[in-house]
Amino acid sequence: MSEVLKQIGEALEKGKRKLVVQYVQQAIDEGIPPQQILTEGLLPGMDRVGVKFRDNEIFVPEVLVAARAMNAGAELLKPLLAEAGATSVGKIVLGTVKGDLHDIGKNLVKMMMEGKGIEVFDLGVDVSPEAFVQGAIEHDADLIGCSALLTTTMPVMGEVVKAAEAAGIRDKVKIMIGGAPVTKEFCESIGADAYTDDAASAAIKAYELLTT
Ligand code: B1M
């Protein structure tokens, strides 16, 4: 693996935002593809942060600092990942479900989808089922995308499906879900349309749903 990708992960793990930005820029200048910088530099660093958090070696403040460093690095990649998508193939309202404040994965899904030419309306975090449905109606969206990182907030995704049914838009809008604890079986159990386990496949799946 390229030395700079390793350095990105190490700097991220230590929450060194400026260094992360510097190394991501260096990786871009070295011609490393943005997708590779993400998957072999930033994400492994964030994974290690997750393990330390789980094992009580670090706590919320350190994780937040690392999350900010991750977002700063990902921001640099955003225009490069989006380059491919010039024209809109369809619209999605995307958000992290009610009660859940994790947004790094959702932000990556957004970037990847924009890279595929999908128009993304980002509703942010802590989004209620009603707000997802309202957003879909307001923006005349083809898709709703829900992210959840907590086992306690996953059930809200089922409420989104029900809210879409209650509002009479379920036959018009496909619902995609994802996030670390989410599974294909869970997706089927709540009657959502698609589950993917990472941001790149979420973008591919959304593109498929919009174009076939
Ligand atoms: Co939290 N947290 N956190 N946290 N946090 C987890 C999720 C946890 C697994 C850590 C652990 O214990 N090991 C654990 C959840 C346990 C569980 O429910 N089973 C946990 C907990 C417990 C908590 C708190 C309750 C802690 C506390 O306060 N005691 C609290 C909850 C706050 C809340 O949301 N109400 C909390 C808070 C936080 C921070 C605020 C400190 C921070 C979030 C900062 C932010 O997002 N801006 C944070 C972080 C950073 C994490 C970890 C360390 C990293 C999450 C992350 O960003 N991963 C996480 C541990 C871990 O996951 N290893 C953890 C990187 C990101 C790129 O991955 O989000 O999975 P991910 O997204 C992937 C895929 O899942 C997928 O694509 C992405 C990229 O490929 N994907 C989709 C995501 N959404 C998708 C949608 C799609 C398709 C694919 O379609 C629409």
Task: Tell me the three state secondary structure of residue 170.
Answer: coil
Distances (CA, A) of 61 to 14, 44, 49, 54: 12, 19, 12, 14
Expressed in angstroms and rounded, the spacing between residue 69 Cα and the centre of ligand 1 is 15
Tokens of 59: 């706590």
Of 119, 32, 12, the closest CA to residue 80 belongs to: 32
Per-residue pLDDT of the chain (212 residues; tens, 9 = 90+): 689 999 999 999 999 999 999 999 999 999 999 989 998 999 899 889 888 988 999 988 898 899 899 989 999 998 887 765 546 789 999 999 999 999 999 988 988 788 677 899 999 999 999 999 999 999 999 999 999 999 999 999 999 999 999 999 999 999 999 999 999 999 999 999 999 998 878 989 999 999 88
Question: Is residue 67 in contact with ligand 1, taking CB distance under 6 Å?
Answer: yes
pLDDT of the residue at 87? 63
E runs forming strands in 36-153:
90-97, 118-127, 143-147
Q: Are strands 143-147 and 174-178 parallel, antiparallel or unpaired?
A: parallel
> 3-state DSSP helix/strand/coil percent for the chain, to nearest 5?
60, 15, 30
Q: What is the side-by-side order of every strand in the sheet holding 118-127?
A: 118-127, 90-97, 143-147, 174-178, 194-195
C-alpha span between 90 and 172 (Å, rounded): 13
From start to end of 14-165, where are the E strands?
90-97, 118-127, 143-147
Sequence-ordered list of residues with C-beta below 8 angstroms from that of 168, at least 6 positions apart, any chain? none
The CATH number of domain 3-84, selected from 3.40.50.620, 2.40.270.10, 2.30.40.10, 1.10.1240.10: 1.10.1240.10
**Any idea what the Cα angle at residue 34 is, between residues 33 and 39, rounded to 5°?**
100
Tell me, using a 6 A CB cutoff, whether residue 84 lines ligand 1. no
Minimal CA–CA distance to 161: which of 196, 199, 123, 188?
188
Pair 142, 174: CB distance under 8 Å: yes
Which atom of ligand 1 lies at the shortest distance from residue 61's CA? 41
pLDDT value, residue 63: 87
**Sequence spans of domains, the chain:** 3-84, 91-211
91-211 CATH: 3.40.50.280
Q: Is 33 in the pocket of ligand 1 (CB under 6 A)?
A: no
Q: Which atom of ligand 1 is nearest to the CA of 46?
A: 65
Ligand 1 atom nearest 68 alpha carbon: 47
Computed on alpha carbons and rounded to an integer, the radius of gyration of the chain in Å comes to 17
Same fold: 3-84 with 91-211: no
Q: What is the pLDDT of residue 84?
A: 53
